[in-house]
Amino acid sequence: MHTTQQNHIHHTIRLTQSPSRTSLQRLSGVEGLLGAARHGAYRLELVYDLSRLCWSEVVPHLEQVGIRRKQGLWQRWRDGLRDLQDQNLRDNLKHTPACCSRPPVGAGRHP
């Protein structure tokens, strides 16, 4: 996973078969999914807008257009990690940093 802009996420996923052109065209109609392209014979590179979609919302769209991902324990672990990363990035985008290197109000006070 990597980001090109602040909220654009790139994932390369492993598939059980090469995606058809029809499947890729049908994915282009998903709102928030910015790109889907073959990346080798059995890999698919996805780019989506984190402000509109998260990984757990992308997966049903893949299944709906007939794109089959590899299954198994390792893949479920990766899916969980991608969900966690998306949630952390969304939280970071919402965060407003403290100004002028000052600690937040109430920091350093002991009860």
CATH code of the domain containing 68:
3.30.70.100
In a domain, 92, yes or no: no
Where would I find the beta strands (DSSP E) of 1-111? 2-3, 8-14, 33-38, 43-49
In a domain, 90, yes or no: no
In a domain, 37, yes or no: yes
In a domain, 17, yes or no: yes
**Per-residue confidence (pLDDT) for residue 84, from 0 to 100:** 94
Q: Which residues contact 36 (CB under 8 A, 6 or more apart)?
A: 19, 24, 27, 28, 44, 45, 46, 47
| Domain total in the chain | 1
The burial of 105, by beta-carbon neighbours within 10 Å (0-12 exposed, 13-18 middle, 19 or more buried), is given as exposed
**Mind listing the pLDDT tens digit of every residue in the chain (111 residues)?**
555 567 899 999 999 998 888 999 999 889 999 999 998 889 999 999 998 999 999 999 999 999 999 888 998 999 999 999 999 988 888 877 767 777 667 766 666
In a domain, 95, yes or no: no
**Per-residue confidence (pLDDT) for residue 111, from 0 to 100:** 61
> Under a CB-based contact definition with an 8 Å cutoff, are residues 67 and 78 in contact?
no
Q: Which of 90, 21, 24, 84 is nearest to 53 (CA)?
A: 90
Provide the residue range defining the domain that includes 35. 2-73
In a domain, 36, yes or no: yes
